[in-house]
Amino acid sequence: MGFCLFLLGVFPPILFVFDKPVLVLNIPLSFLYLYGFWAVMIAFMAIGARRRPGSQSQSSVSLNPIIQDVKKTDSSASDYV
């Protein structure tokens, strides 16, 4: 969802709206839009990627049986040497 919003924000027709010879604090409006939009999108991605309190990672749950199988295989392989 965030990536699609980013693509929409940098879509040329949207960029043309802000491509005007206007200065805000001596900075062109198009630069302010691009860097401001970029910063907001990074903030949204950081908020979305943050772990929620009480949530458990899916990878740790699903990898535990695999790790246990590898440990069993390693101990049994040393018996044949």
Ranking 3-12, 32-41, 60-69 by mean pLDDT, the lowest is 60-69
Whole-number pLDDT of residue 32: 92
Domain layout of the chain by residue ranges: 1-52
Give the pLDDT confidence of 38-81 residue by residue, as tens digits: 999 899 888 888 877 766 655 545 555 666 665 565 555 555 55
Contact 20, 66 (CB under 8 A): no
**Torsions phi, psi for 27 (to 5 deg):** -120, 130
